[in-house]
Amino acid sequence: MSNQINQAVSKVFNKLADALETGHIEPRIKIGLTIDGSELGLDVMRQAAETIKQNNLFDVVLIGSDVEWASDFEHVSTTDCQKDAYEMMEELLHDGKIDGCVTLHYNFPIGVATVGRVITPAFGREMIIATTTGTASTQRNEAMLLNAINGVAVAKTLGHKDPTVGILNVDGAKTVERALVSLKENGYELNFGESARADGGIVLRGNDLLTGTCDVVVCDSLTGNVLMKLFSAYNSGGQYEVAGFGYGPGVGLNYRDNICIISRASGAPVIANALTYAYELAKGKIADVSKEEYDKALSAQLNTIRESLQVKTETSEKVVAPEKEIVTAEIGGIDVMELEEAVQALWKGNIYAESGMGCTGPVLLVNEKNEAVAGELLKTEKYL
């Protein structure tokens, strides 16, 4: 232990010496936190922010409505509408005023999915679940292939130089295994883990989840979302997430924003851990690591393998968007997994539409003059 302390002190002194010699001191990392929208109220946000402040590793920037305790932190005031908070969060990220952010229910673009992080109950091991929200691809097996790359990128950002990867035993697992093996044979570095069950293999069982057999578990986002809830709230009845790091950052090809997701049921410990997660990702430069992993995968014929996983139908047709219009009317109530399909359905009906984020979650946006007819068309197509 004394040797570890000496090493830590030595690192601090080396950094100070470098700073004095070069005159360059690294700016302190800032992580945003949108504080409105939790089902548990604002107090869990306060508790989490105060925990981070006491630990003093990085600074928290609050984004949201005015509350008395916000004066203890850097605070960017917005209304209590999540849409306003998201727009401010994006502005702060793109201006470099924050290095990452923790928020609720963010509408990532298709191609981006979140990578969760949990503590497994059997041995207290950390485990990456790739992925937990968002849609890496509308094709399930293709999405799981990309999820593997996303999970590896996050694991490496967190300091795992050669993370072990396993595939959860869900529909398509063996197909995804073959795709990942092909990617590896083409030159992409992958360190496959192995199930602890007697028959072993890359495909993981429920036991492997509990023990944390692999560093990265690959699955589809819907399954990953359920797993996150179970790992975080199994001992609280599901109403309050008490363990883990939240649903993680959105990762995908050419995506660079460090935005980490929590749920409306995330408690103060999970929110504090999510903030720390975002800090570690900012420090490890997740966007750069992700780009490097995707560049390697593309060199290993990723696109060719992706194409082989896509379901092709003779009736499929490319829908071209109508002429762009100003879209201010919001249509809610569409399943987030069907949102992009709903956009295509309206385009096919010659109604310009976009997916977006409203105050209550993902919405479909149309011009006000088209709101009524768009709603009827969506009902006819069974999206509403």
Catalytic residue annotation: 359
DSSP letter, residue 312:
-
Is cis: bond before 131, omega within 30 of 0? Answer: yes
Tokens coding 90: 């994006």
Give first-to-last CA distance, the chain, whole Å.
60
Query: What is the rounded distance in angstroms from the CA atom of residue 88 to the CA atom of residue 63?
Result: 8
**What does the alpha-carbon distance between residue 168 and residue 154 come to, in Å, rounded to a whole number?**
18
Tokens of 15: 């950094």
* Residue 131 and residue 246 in contact, taking contact as beta carbons nearer than 8 Å: no
Within the chain, where are the H helices? 2-22, 43-55, 82-94, 140-157, 173-185, 206-211, 221-233, 268-284, 286-299, 302-309, 339-348, 371-380
From CA 285, how far away is CA 83, in angstroms rounded? 27
Closest CA to 218 of 278, 262, 152, 123: 152
The DSSP line for 29-85 is PEEEEE-S--TT-THHHHHHHHHHHHHTSSEEEEEES--GGGGGSEEEE--S-HHHH
CA 293-102-28 angle, 5° bins: 80
Locate 36 and state its tokens: 């409105």
339 and 355 in contact (C-beta within 8 Å)? Answer: yes
**Contact (Cβ atoms closer than 8 angstroms) between residue 63 and residue 35:** yes
